[in-house]
């Protein structure tokens, strides 16, 4: 299986509320709340760290969950958020623009 890299889209709004992350896409206004584990993956989504490494290091080590279960859940989570354009996915490392740019 090839590596997967994930990054947060710049077209979202996000805020922690009582230990959960609220995320809303400004493209289609879909609204999600991420639980603690999902929030950890979200925060680590820098476009450079492979998803497998995020799961192993930030999820399994921190939350003591089985790696296969964690991987499966993470894949599902990434698929759903990428479907709404909230997470961007690539099979090679990539940069998200630091902020929106003014095109001429």
Partner 1 sequence: MSLMQEMNERALELGVPLGVHLDVTYRCNERCVHCYLDHDDHGELTTVEIKDILQQLAEAGTFFLTLSGGEVLMRRDFFEILEHARDLKFNVRIKTNGVMIRKSEARRMRDLGVEQVQVSIYSRRPEIHDAITKLPGSLKRSIEAIRLLKSQGLKVAIANVLMTVNMGEHAGVQALAQELGVVYTLDPTITPKIDGDTSILNLRIPGSELKAVFHNKDLVGNVEEFCAPPPKPGEDVMEGYPCSAGHTAAYITPYGDVFPCVQFPLPSGNVRRQKFMYIWRNSPELNEVRSIRAKDLPVCSTCSHVGTCTRCPGLAYLEGSMRGPSTADCEKSFQRTGILSANMLRKAHAHSHGPLIQIQPFAA
Nearest distance from C-beta of residue 29 to partner 1, angstroms: 7
Q: For 40, list phi and psi in degrees, rounded to 5.
A: -60, -45
33/79 with CB nearer partner 1: 33
Contact 59, 74 (CB under 8 A): yes
| Binding residue (CB under 8 A) for partner 1 from 16, 67, 69, 96 | 16
d(C-alpha 47, C-alpha 78), whole Å: 13
According to the binding rule CB under 8 A, does residue 24 interact with partner 1? Answer: yes
Q: Rule CB under 8 A: which residues touch partner 1?
A: 10-18, 22, 24, 26-27, 29, 31-33, 99-103
């Amino acid at each position: 299986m090839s590596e997967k890299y994930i990054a947060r889209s710049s077209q979202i709004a996000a805020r922690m509320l009582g230990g959960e992350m609220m995320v809303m896409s400004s493209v289609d206004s879909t609204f999600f709340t991420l639980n603690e584990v999902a929030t950890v993956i979200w925060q680590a989504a820098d476009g450079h760290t492979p998803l497998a490494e995020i799961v192993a290091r930030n999820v399994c080590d921190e939350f003591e969950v089985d790696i296969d279960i964690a991987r499966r859940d993470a894949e599902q989570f990434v698929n759903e958020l990428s479907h709404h354009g909230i997470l961007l996915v690539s099979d090679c490392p990539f940069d998200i623009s630091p902020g929106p740019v003014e095109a001429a």
